[in-house]
Chain A
Amino acid sequence: KQEVTQIPAALSVPEGENLVLNCSFTDSAIYNLQWFRQDPGKGLTSLLLIQSSQREQTSGRLNASLDKSSGRSTLYIAASQPGDSATYLCAVRGQNFVFGPGTRLSVLP
């Protein structure tokens, strides 16, 4: 059964810092991996989708990488801003869609 973990569980950084969020999964037989952002009490906003054949995807200040063989993905956020404060979730698409527990990010002004 696929298990997804995310490290760290919470992170607090000053504005302007570059940061990395980590996602690990146990079964490398995946179609793709998707990163989401969730604001408190709100829905999920899709940030990046990486297909299993890809190594990375970029959107603005966000860069996500995927190493399928080692079961890892990272989300890199450049020049963080207070508006980036949210919970970041990774989810892997294999037989089912399995979410990690999330990383709660606070960017302090």
Chain B
Amino acid sequence: EAQVTQNPRYLITVTGKKLTVTCSQNMNHEYMSWYRQDPGLGLRQIYYSMNVEVTDKGDVPEGYKVSRKEKRNFPLILESPSPNQTSLYFCASRGDSLHEQFFGPGTRLTVL
């Protein structure tokens, strides 16, 4: 089944404790991205990747890192999480500009 998977689905952590949210797709998509969703602010893009070893900042990249060492994986790294990074995070992928974007199930992160 074609899908985008994220792990973990739920995470509660404390300020400053490094964490990684994994994202994997099995559709051989070149383009992957991360979004966060907050009440009243909607979905905002954090980082995106056009291909392996090619990443770029979205609208709200501060406090986040990403890497794209393999085509299928695009982990989101929070080196020193802070409470304002409490949010619902989505990973997405698509084949090219003309194709629809597929979203993972989301990761609900709480930083205390």
Contacts and interface: CB of A to CB of B under 8 A. Distances in A.
B46 to A, nearest CB: 11
Interface residues of A, number: 21
A43 B101 CA distance: 12
A89 interface: yes
B101 A46 contact: yes
Interface string B89-111: 01010000111111111101000
Nearest to B96: A31
B101 A34 contact: yes
Contacts of B43: 89, 91, 99
Interface size classification for chain B: 20 to 34
Given A89-B43, A93-B97, A97-B33, 16 more contacts: A31-B97, A32-B98, A32-B100, A41-B108, A42-B106, A44-B103, A46-B100, A46-B102, A91-B101, A93-B101, A96-B45, A96-B58, A97-B101, A98-B45, A99-B43, A101-B42
Q: Say what secondary structure dominates the interface of chain A.
A: strand
Contacts of B92: 97
A81 interface: no
Interface of A: 31-32, 34, 36, 41-44, 46, 49, 51, 89, 91, 93, 96-102
Nearest to A47: B100
Q: Say what secondary structure dominates the interface of chain B.
A: strand
A97 B42 contact: no
Most buried by B among A32, A42, A44: A44
Given A43-B90, A97-B33, A102 B101 contact: no
A43 B106 contact: yes
A42 B105 contact: yes
A99 B105 CA distance: 17
Interface in B15-46: 33, 35, 42-45
A99 B44 CA distance: 7
B42 A100 contact: yes
